[in-house]
Structure 1
Amino acid sequence: SFGAERRGSLVLAFARINDRKIFRRTQIYTPDIVVVLNEDIPELIDIVDGLKTEGMVVLNSTKKPEQIILSKSINVGVVGATKIAQDILDEPITNTAMLGALVKSAGIISLENLEKGIYSVFNKRLGEKIARKNVEIARIAYNETIIGVSKAGKTYADLRPWRPTVDELPLGTILPKIVLQNGQKIGPGAAKRRKTGTWSKEKAVVNQEKCIGCLKCLFHCPEGTIYRNNGKVKVNNIYCKTCGICVSVCPVNAISIEEIEDYTEIII
């Protein structure tokens, strides 16, 4: 399942593993293992909700297991997957690193079999060079994964969607917006907190001296986060997913993607 955003939204995927044929095709509500590729997701979502007591969380994080605070104390395997992927691929694509961490944390298959599987898939699709790099990523992540127990006590805000009651519905077809305590305006079906730019560890920056105002970035942005203000092109980084489309379409290389250290950098 995934959000309504056309690109860059949170994705929730499920997998069942068994040596017998699996007939069930539903979502998994009481998992044995939860794998989290983005270390900021536990700040937004209770990732251990429904997780079995003896279950395992595999988390992309630079913190130690005992520094991880979740809604309940649970077994945790942590690895700095983003850095590993960035160092080897020059891209923060953490999938194979997290596979290495998963195998180390849960022991569902051997590292050798994982490496064979990764090599087979990537070699067929992207060639031997990329295959070997991804095998290396998985191996490093496996060796660097630290297993421990998280702390408990984290609480989460009520994120249930707002929908108007019969009394709140206006005449006609236009539904009202409401304003939250933080000043955010939302409409029917919108969640109470949707600052989706916080999912990213990067931000898009426009070099105003280079920008020629062609607006190609504005028209190609899949999220509509680029706008003009007083003749200047700007990016609403609160909602930008840093997909990089604006960078690729800019004819004068006026837009760049930069890392952020703190979310105060994207508040506008």
Structure 2
Amino acid sequence: MTYSNAVLNEANRDAHLQDPRTHVVSAVGAVGTGKSSLLNAMAGERIFRTGEAYATTLEIESQVRPWKYAPTTKYVHMIDTPGLCDTSARDRQNVQEMVRYFKSLAFGVSAFLLVFDIKDIRLDAYTQDMLNLFQQLLGKDFWNFVVIIFTHVDEEVRDELDDAIEAVLDPTDGFVAELTRIFKLSPKTFVPNLIFTTTQNVRMSSYGQRQIRELYNSVVRCEARNDHRRFNCTWLRQILAHQTEDEKDDFIVGSIMGAWSSMATNVCRLQ
């Protein structure tokens, strides 16, 4: 992929952001899992910066593009994230990025894309803190809009990853079962879609394009659970109820602080 200079003009971008037919997806997860590369694959072009360096994405970024390789003419609003609640960045800048992030969700979310590297599928302390914070602020209903994505499942190594994939899918000790136990979810209602995907040369790969279509279908199913509407909640609506940007910022910061103080393991906090 080459880095794209093509952007929607401001009027068109705003129109697509406000259009209820535009899907809104938020890629979240630890640094280095492939969030930016995944969104680039969805867009069919390199609009989010990627690289081998640690923490390439340093701030919230969003772009609106047509969803490439999907059976639709709809647009998708893609929100890329740095290490939200990252223990290596427990400072005011990190909190301000979280403020920007939650403001970007205020009009609803089609799906939260929870991204992991298939070679490292541990639910580490960072990820647990992040998900605890989301549950505190957004409520347990947000889990109905989670799509779990394992990246680096490249075509040439797919067979070598069979054991890892089987471990993820194990109904008793697999990844979903572990999430269910940790966050005290109902196994009857928490049945997220799991996507195993590559982000490698998707433009030339029918294998990769098929996986992007599977991801699109998973996002559509998330909205279908809510009468084809995006996820929203009381707390997100409260953000919009505040008149000024400063009031919104103060409300979000106060909510984050309150959520952290009530979390059993308060690893993520301001220094």
Is the TM value for this pair above 0.5?
no
**TM-score, normalized by length of structure 1?**
0.27
TM-score of the superposition, structure 2-length normalised? 0.27
- Structure number with the higher helix fraction is 2
Structure with bigger gyration radius: 1
Relative contact order, CA 8 A, sep 6+: which one is greater? 2
